Amino acid sequence: MSNEIFLMMSVSTLNAALEARVQAFEAQVDLSRHDIKVLMHLTEPKRMGALAEELQVLRSTLTAVADRLEQGGLLQRHRDRQDRRAWLLEVTEAGRTMQAQARTMATEGFQELTGLNADDIETFVNLMQKVMKNMTGECCFGEVTP
């Protein structure tokens, strides 16, 4: 079997195993994939328009997600002091707790499934950034800190 075929099959298998863990986490915390993705991208208060662009989703999609997360007490909206027409999304304390749970699930789940140590993961990150840049013309996840 060629290296390329082995990698295609291995990446597919890893993706399926990671997907199963993410689905289990979604069910456990009763949040959708979009909800979790928005929470994970909110490391600081952000304008809704900028976040929609960063996530490459329609503003109406982000508004629906923000409504759910706000109702669940995981984020809050504030008027932007620099532009009173704009809204900033900010994670609440409960939202930060959820972010920490999601990070733990992702970190521990990835490490358990792959058996990779920190150095291996850093190498993998660098290789995947190269792959993503080739596929999209840029690294679609910004700076990644392994």
Q: What is the pLDDT of residues 7-58, one digit of tens each?
A: 999 999 999 999 999 999 999 999 999 999 999 999 999 998 889 999 989 9
pLDDT tens, position by position, 101-116: 999 999 999 999 999 9
Average pLDDT over residues 109-137: 92
Residues 6+ apart with CB under 8 A from 68: 32, 35
Q: What is the DSSP letter of 73?
A: T
Span 109-132, mean pLDDT? 94
Distances (CA, A) of 41 to 17, 50, 115: 23, 11, 26
Q: Who's near 121: CB < 8 A, 6+ residues apart?
A: 110, 111, 114, 146
> What confidence score (pLDDT) does residue 2 get?
95
In this prediction, residue 87 has a pLDDT band, given cuts at 50, 70 and 90, of: confident
Strands 75-80 and 46-47: unpaired
Calculate Rg over the CA atoms of the chain.
Answer: 17
- Please compute the mean of the pLDDT values over residues 79-94 and round it to a whole number: 87
Q: Please tell me whether the overall predicted TM-score, pTM, comes out greater than 0.85 for this model.
A: no
Most distant CA pair in the chain, distance: 60
Q: What confidence tier does 140 reach under pLDDT thresholds 50, 70, 90?
A: low
